């Protein structure tokens, strides 16, 4: 059994992938080929955000967004304490300061009450992460931003395809970013990312930034990045996007099956009313994590820890000036992600659940 079975996905859509990729290679337009523009329109149509700019990865998507928002030295950006490192890394890359907010222990997402307590005159914005595929409490976060005149960015690296009150992830904030890393809900065959926004002039600025600050060849208006999506990756993503809704439905069914089989045994994911998750991860909580993970590994069942440390405890940020955020620390000590992808078999979910039940029968 694989944690995320990308080989199964390749085999299923092989003829479509092979023809899409061979067309790119035959045309030899490897950078900025026609598939890039087509993908951007299709992503926009899918999630509803009017402007989409693809780029090289989800980390640089955040960096490019922060650069376009003129974030720099002396600025504070509030991020959840419990997320993948890249959310804070991008803030540090533009020389601003990440401020680590506590999480809601039910959803693992940023807690709006904690955010309110962290706002200072230096706060320029909030990055909410839609962790494991579930969107954070955007209405409350938007209200805080409006009250303080700061911006809201959704780091939707794990949630492309999720919805909140019928609106898709990446279309719930003035600016949003995602990642097409292979294991994300919509992944390519390498690194990729995108930025989504509601405002045309901001979109134009971002488009400059991801291409060396240049709109015309060899004329540079800004210091930017070399952060474009390869045409090959765009072609791969266009194939996967055609099957994406079906895979999202499949992830949702697998998650329901997990929860129905495990609900009495461990703490299963809580999805808030009005939300649908993209199920980037199916993550349980247990105080017996290391023993359970070893027990599963002995039975060839893969599992993963997303993430073993809150950001405030990372060596590069452990400067002792940040709040301790007990919910974030406790989540880091208890979470365990189980096999989940768009083509997982019911029998695989049942096998994982049977092993977990057998483990808890012994404990
Ligand atoms: C994966 C991820 C990123 C970074 O995306 P890359 O494409 O790997 O650079 C950023 N934030 C979160 C929450 C992620 O899960």
Q: What is the pLDDT of residue 320?
A: 61
**Which atom of ligand 1 approaches the CA of 86 most closely?**
10
3-class secondary structure for 56-69?
CCHHHHHHHHHHHC
Q: What's the gap in Å between 355 CA and the centre of ligand 1? A: 30
pLDDT of residue 322: 55
Q: Read off the tokens for 219.
A: 């004329």
**Ligand 1 atom 10 nearest Cα:** 86
| CB of 181 sitting under 6 A from ligand 1 | yes
pLDDT in the model for residue 198: 98
CB of 213 closer than 8 Å to CB of 221: yes
Q: What is the pLDDT of residue 323?
A: 60
Output the CA angle 116-307-226, nearest 5 degrees.
85
Task: Report the predicted TM-score, pTM, of the whole model to 2 decimal places.
Answer: 0.98
pLDDT computed for residue 363 by the predictor: 87
C-alpha span between 207 and 14 (Å, rounded): 32
Distance (angstroms) between ligand 1 centre and the Cα of 362 equals: 37
Question: Token pair for residue 76?
Answer: 């504070």
Tell me, using a 6 A CB cutoff, whether residue 191 lines ligand 1. yes
CA 59 to centroid of ligand 1, rounded, Å: 6
- Mean pLDDT for each 10-residue chunk of the chain (363 residues)? 97 98 98 97 98 98 98 98 98 97 98 98 98 98 98 98 98 98 98 98 97 94 96 98 98 98 96 98 98 98 97 86 82 98 98 98 91
Give the C-alpha separation, 244 to 238, whole Å.
Answer: 10
98 lines ligand 1 (CB under 6 A): no
């Amino acid at each position: 059994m694989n944690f995320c079975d990308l080989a199964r996905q390749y085999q299923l859509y092989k003829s479509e992938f092979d023809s899409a990729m061979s067309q790119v290679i035959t045309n030899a337009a490897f950078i900025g080929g026609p598939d890039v523009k087509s993908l951007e329109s299709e992503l926009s149509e899918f999630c509803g955000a009017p402007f989409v700019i693809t780029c090289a990865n989800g980390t640089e998507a955040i960096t490019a967004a922060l650069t376009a928002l003129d974030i720099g030295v002396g600025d504070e950006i509030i991020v959840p304490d419990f997320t993948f490192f890249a959310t804070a890394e991008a803030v540090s890359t533009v020389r601003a300061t990440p401020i680590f907010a506590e999480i809601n222990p039910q959803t693992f997402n940023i807690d709006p009450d904690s955010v309110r307590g962290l706002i200072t005159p230096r706060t320029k914005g909030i990055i909410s992460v839609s962790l494991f595929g579930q969107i954070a409490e955007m209405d409350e976060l938007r209200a805080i931003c409006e009250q303080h005149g700061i911006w809201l960015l959704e780091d939707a690296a794990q949630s492309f395809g999720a919805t909140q009150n019928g609106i898709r992830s990446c279309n719930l904030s003035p600016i949003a970013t995602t990642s097409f890393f292979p294991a994300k809900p919509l992944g390519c065959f390498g690194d990729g990312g995108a930025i989504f926004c509601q405002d045309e002039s901001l979109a134009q600025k971002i488009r400059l930034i991801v291409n060396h600050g240049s709109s015309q060849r060899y004329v540079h208006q800004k210091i930017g990045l070399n952060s474009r999506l390869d045409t090959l990756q765009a072609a791969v993503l266009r194939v996967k996007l055609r099957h994406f809704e079906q895979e999202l439905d499949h992830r949702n069914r697998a998650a329901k099956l997990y929860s129905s089989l495990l609900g009495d045994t461990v703490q299963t994911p809580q999805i808030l009313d009005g939300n649908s998750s993209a199920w980037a991860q199916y993550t349980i909580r247990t105080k017996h994590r290391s023993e359970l993970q070893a027990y599963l590994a002995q039975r060839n069942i893969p599992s993963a820890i997303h993430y073993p440390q809150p950001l405030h405890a990372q060596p590069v940020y452990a400067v002792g000036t940040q709040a301790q955020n007990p919910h974030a620390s406790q989540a880091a000590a208890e979470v365990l992600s189980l096999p989940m992808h768009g083509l997982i078999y019911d029998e695989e979910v049942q096998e994982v659940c049977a092993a977990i039940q057998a483990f808890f029968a012994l404990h």
